[in-house]
Structure 1
Amino acid sequence: MNDGQEAFRRFAKQIRTVGGGSGGPGPKGLFAGSGLLIALVAGGFALNASLFNVDGGHRAIKYSRIHGVKEDVYNEGTHLMIPWFETPIIFDIRAKPRNIASLTGTKDLQMVNITCRVLSRPSTTGLPTIYRELGKDYDERVLPSIVNEVLKSVVAQFNASQLITQREHVSRLVRENLTERASRFNLVLDDVSITHVAFSTEFTHAVEAKQVAQQTALRAAYLVDQAIQEKQSIIVRANGEAKSAELVGEALRKNKGFLELRRLEAARDIATLLSGSQNKVMLDSQSLLLNVAGEDAQDLLKTQK
C-alpha cells in the first residue's frame, strides 16, 4: 500500500515538473500534463488492441486487409496483431458429435432408415483452407451431404437381412469411405458408427411372419419325429411282449412247475399286501392264508378229509 502511494507521488511530481516546476500550474504545464495522460491512455488502448487470446481447445488464424487469410495457425495463448489491419479468426478444434439420419434403399429394394453418428473436428493445418472455401460453419456445409452419399452407396451393396447379420462389416465400410471423403475437406473423423437401423412396417411384418412360419415348421418336424419314435417304441415293446409270451408258453410245455412258481410269486405279493392292510380276511386254514395249491394238491386235501 505504501509502495503504491509512493509511486503515485513520484508520478504526480513528474507531471508538475513537466508542467512548470513546483509553482502553480501555468497553461503550458497544464497542457503538457494532459498530453502525457492522453498518450498513456492511448498507448494502453493500442497495446490492448494489439493482443488477442486463444483459449484451450481452439486455434486461430489471421485475416489481413492487405494479404487476405494468412497460412499461419496460432496455438493457445496470447499473440500480437496489427490493429485494424489484421483480424483474428478463432476455430474450435475439439471433436463434436453429430447424428445424421438417411432414408436409403437396399440391394433388394427395401427402404431403410439409418442414423449415423459422426465425431468430427477440423484439421489444424487446414484451417486457412477451411475458412477460405467453407467458412466457420464447415460442418453444416459438408457432413450432411457426404454422410448421405456414403450411406446410400454402401447400403445399396447389401440386402435388408445382411444389414443386420453383417452390421459390423457395413459399419466398417461406411467408416472407411466417409473418412476418405471428409479428408478432402480437411476434416478429421475420430469415430463413425451406425446407431439405428429401422425398416419399413411391411418388411417388419413380413420378417415376423417368416419367423412364425419357421417356428411352426420346426414344431411340426418335431412332432413327426416324436410320432416316429413312439411308433418304434410300441413295436419294440410288442415284440418284447410276444417274445415273452412265447418263452412262457414254451416253459409251460416243458415243465408245469413253472406255472406253480408263478403262482407262488403272485401269492407272495398278495400276502404282502394283505399283511399291511387293516381289513380282516377269512380264508381256509388248509391254504395257510394263501390259495396257492394246485388242482392236484386240492384233490389230495379232499382225500385226506
Structure 2
Amino acid sequence: MAASARILNWVYRLAIPVAIGVSVGESAIYDVKGGTRAVIFDRLSGVKQTVISEGTHFLFPWLQKAVIMDVRTTPRNISTTTGSKDLQMVSLTLRVLHRPDVTFLPQIYQNLGLDYDERVLPSIGNEVLKAIVAQFDAAELITQREIVSARIRDDLVKRASEFHIALEDVSITHMTFGKEFTKAVEEKQIAQQDAERARYIVEKAEQERQASVIRAEGEAEAAETISKALEKAGDGLLLIRRIEASKDIAGTLAASPNVTYLPKSGSSGGDTSGSSGSNNLLLNLGR
C-alpha cells in the first residue's frame, strides 16, 4: 500500500509538469494553411519584417504571436454617388478584385491591421470615382464607358499600390443617372423616333408621287400609241375590237344557265329567224 501511494504521488507530481510541457509545446507550434501567410508579433521587438510561408512553424510561446493573413484574391464592391461635368448626378458601383502584396504584409499589418481593405479601398475608390466622373458629361459616361472604366482602373491601381494593395481587376458593374437626365434621354429618344417616322412618311409620299408621274407618263404614251395605231388602221382595228368583245359577251351568256335565247316577235318557234335574231343581238357588227 505504501508503495502504491508513493507511485500515485509521483504520477501526480509528474503529470503537472508534463501537462504544462504539452501545453507549451502546442502553443509553440502553428500552421500556415494554403492561401495564407503569417506575420510574427514579438512582445519585445514588435512586428518582425519577415513573412512566414505555408507549412508548420515554431515560435516562442507567450513572447511571440503568429498573425495569419489571407493573401488570396478577394472581391469587393465600391459604390458612390457624384456629379458629372454637366452637373448630372451619377450613381456608380465598382467591382474590385484585390489582394495584399505579400512582400509588404508586415507593413500592412503594422499600419492598417487585418481589415486593411475596409480601411483603404472605400476611401480611395470614392476619391478616384469622383475625380474621373467629374471630367465627363453624362452622355460621354454612356458612350465612352470603356474609356471611363480604363481611367478609373489606372488611377485606382496607382492609389492602391501606395498602400501595398494589388488590384487584379476593376470594372463598372452599375451606372444610373438622376430622374431629370433619364427623363430627358427618354424624351430625346421619342423625338428621334417621331423624326424617323416623319421622314419615312415624307419619303413614302415622294415615292408615291414619282410612281404616279411614271404611271401617268406611261398612260399618255399608251394613249398616243393607240391613237397612232387607229390613224393607221382606220376602222379595221375598231372592227376587230368589236368582234372580240362580242365573242366574250356571247361566251359569257352561253355559259350562264339563266339566259334564254328568244326569237323575234311574230316568228314561230321552229323558225330560224329566232336564231338569226339572237345572232343579230349578240353579234350586231353592222350597228
Report the CA distance shift for 1:57/1:276 in structure 2 as closer, same or farther (over 3 A). Answer: farther
Question: CA–CA distance in 2 between the matches of 1:188 and 1:240?
Answer: 78
1:113 aligns with 2:91: yes
1:257 aligns with 2:236: yes
1:141 aligns with 2:119: yes
- 1:116-265 matches, within 5 Å, as 116-254=94-232, 255-265=234-244
Contact 2:29 2:56 in 1 (8 A): yes
Corresponding letter in the other structure for 2:70: D
Contact 1:271 1:290 in 2 (8 A): no
Segment drifting more, 173-182 vs 202-211: 173-182
Q: Secondary structure at the match of 1:73?
A: strand
1:285 aligns with 2:263: no
Number of residue pairs matched by the alignment: 274
* CA displacement 1:129-186 (0-9 Å, x = unmatched): 1011111111111111111111122222322122222222222222222122111111
Question: CA–CA distance in 1 between the matches of 2:101 and 2:133?
Answer: 28
- Deviation, 1:39, is 2.7
Contact 1:60 1:75 in 2 (8 A): yes
Q: Secondary structure at the match of 1:70?
A: strand
Contiguous gaps of at least 5 residues in structure 2: 263-273
Corresponding letter in the other structure for 1:107: K
Q: Secondary structure at the match of 2:3?
A: coil
- Deviation, 1:32, is 5.5
* CA displacement 1:112-140 (0-9 Å, x = unmatched): 11111112121211110101111111111
Report the CA distance shift for 1:262/1:182 in structure 2 as closer, same or farther (over 3 A). Answer: same
Report the CA distance shift for 1:123/1:276 in structure 2 as closer, same or farther (over 3 A). Answer: farther
- Deviation, 1:266, is 2.6
Contact 2:249 2:282 in 1 (8 A): no
Contact 1:57 1:93 in 2 (8 A): yes
Which residue in 2 is equivalent to 1:24?
A: 3
* CA displacement 1:41-78 (0-9 Å, x = unmatched): 22212111211222332211001112111111112222
Question: CA–CA distance in 2 between the matches of 1:187 and 1:200?
Answer: 33
Corresponding letter in the other structure for 1:141: R
Q: Secondary structure at the match of 1:135?
A: coil
> Which of residues 59, 81, 91 in structure 2 aligns to 1:103?
81
Question: CA–CA distance in 2 between the matches of 1:212 and 1:239?
Answer: 41
Report the CA distance shift for 1:217/1:194 in structure 2 as closer, same or farther (over 3 A). Answer: same
- Deviation, 1:272, is 4.3
Q: Provide the TM-score with structure 1 as the length reference.
A: 0.81
What is the root-mean-square deviation in Å for CA atoms of aligned residues? 2.5
Q: Provide the TM-score with structure 2 as the length reference.
A: 0.86
Segment drifting more, 214-223 vs 175-184: 175-184
- 1:3-22 matches, within 5 Å, as none
Question: CA–CA distance in 2 between the matches of 1:126 and 1:37?
Answer: 44
